[in-house]
Each structure stands twice: as structure tokens, then as C-alpha cells.
Amino acid sequence: MIPALTVGLSGRPPGRSVGQMRRLAAAAALGYLVGTFPTADLVSRRSSGGIGDAVDLRRAGSGNPGAANALQVLGPRAGLAVMVGDVAKGAVASLLGGAVAGPIGAHMAGSSSVVGHCLPVWSGGRGGKGVAAGVGQCLATFPASVPIELAVAGATIALPGWTRRTRAASIAACACWVAAATVWWRRSLPNLWGPRPTVALPLAALASSAVILGRFVTAPASPVARSIDTTTPAHDEGVPT
């Protein structure tokens, strides 16, 4: 079954499947490691003036070590730095994966970088939401979709109270990503500097989207929300807000 899948995705004969699977595994592992790079922690340390004074974004603001929380807690420069760093992780991982295992390796490494960003082993799985890393993945493997993603984000930001709609915006962006990837694959549309669209494109988009949306669902409550919960009666615990 695995050789057949490999041939279906890459078009290579079964005799090369073992070597290709090893390269794909290496690309996925490399992508994960790149994704675990602690961008937010390093920016927070730099912005705070040292290790001892560093603000832990997992305990401040929304509790998410991402660009939006860095913006709110540390200021615009820190937020921009975290965003650029996290986007770079997805792009660099995809490029490295492509160098190791070709187009499929690029897709696998890109999705793995999103996993690494969301669930970094070095911090006990307490990572970010993966949105910026996903954007970096798109920049490297599906640049044709970037204007669509920017349009969705821009339309969401333009709405009143957009900061409270991040989950809805992420769902919409991920849905557009998967849908566009499917269309590009089925119709073999041009992909700018990205690899030629194959079935691996929508599969990678679906995998990364599932991880991103899963993080929105399973992410712990912010420190502020947790402090509020401790003041509520015991019979109210666990009630979603």
C-alpha cells in the first residue's frame, strides 16, 4: 500500500520507494525541528532586556506564544518580529524539505513545521496556534493562494471587533486554503514559484489546517480567564464561556 501511495504521489517506480520514504521521513523530521524554533521566547527575551526579565507569553496576555499576543503584551515591534519569524519557519522548513525529498518533501516539511510550532517538544507541547507557520508554508508551496488568504484576513480585520473573531477568521482561511489547493490540483493551475500542484497539495493543506484548528479548540484558557475561573463557585467549573 505504501509503495502504491508513493508512486501515486510522486510518479516514481516502486524500486525507489524505500529511498523516497526515507527522504520523506527526513524532510518531515527536519520540518518539525524548524517549527519548534522558539521565536516568541527569543523575541520576548530580547524585548525584555535579558533572560531573568523575560516575559513568558504563555503566562501573560492571552497565554499564546504568538504574534498577536506579543503585539498586545510587548508592543508592535515584538509582534512584527514574532510574526516574521514564525512565517519564516514554515517557509524555510518547506524549502529544506523540498531540497531533501522534492515537492512531496516540501509539503510534508511544511505541515510538520506547523506541528512543531504548535506542539514543540522542548516546551512540553505548549506552542502557538500555527497560523503564521501555515502562511510560511503557503508562501513556499502554494504561493498562488497567498492573495486569497490575505483577502480573507483583510476582510476579517476590517470588521468591528475583529480581535474577537480570530477563530472564525482561521476557520475561513483554512477552508479557503484546502478548497483552493483542491481546485489547483484538479485543474493543474499555475502555482507561481511553488511546486506543480499534485494531490499532495490539498493533503498538506488539510493536515496543516487540522492542526491549526485543533489548537484553537484545545488551547488552554488565557491566564486572565483562568484567574476568573478560580473565583467562580465549584458547580460552575467546566462550563464553556
64-101 pLDDT tens trace: 888 888 988 899 999 999 999 999 999 999 999 999 99
Write down the pLDDT at residue 168.
75
Instruction: With beta carbons less than 8 A apart as the criterion, state whether 133 and 83 touch.
Output: no
Mean pLDDT of 119-139: 93
Write down the pLDDT at residue 14.
56
**pLDDT higher than 90, residue 46:** no
Asked which of 10-19, 130-139, 183-192 is least confident by mean pLDDT, the reply is: 10-19
Amino acid at 87: V
Most confident of the ranges 19-23, 121-125, 198-202, 228-232: 198-202
CA 127 – CA 110 distance, rounded (Å): 16
Among 36, 50, 182, smallest CA distance to 122 is for 36
**pLDDT higher than 80, residue 240:** no
For residue 43, give Cα distances in angstroms to 72, 214, 217, 221, 236. 14, 25, 26, 23, 38
Write down the pLDDT at residue 54.
74
Q: Which three cell numbers stand for residue 22?
A: 526515507
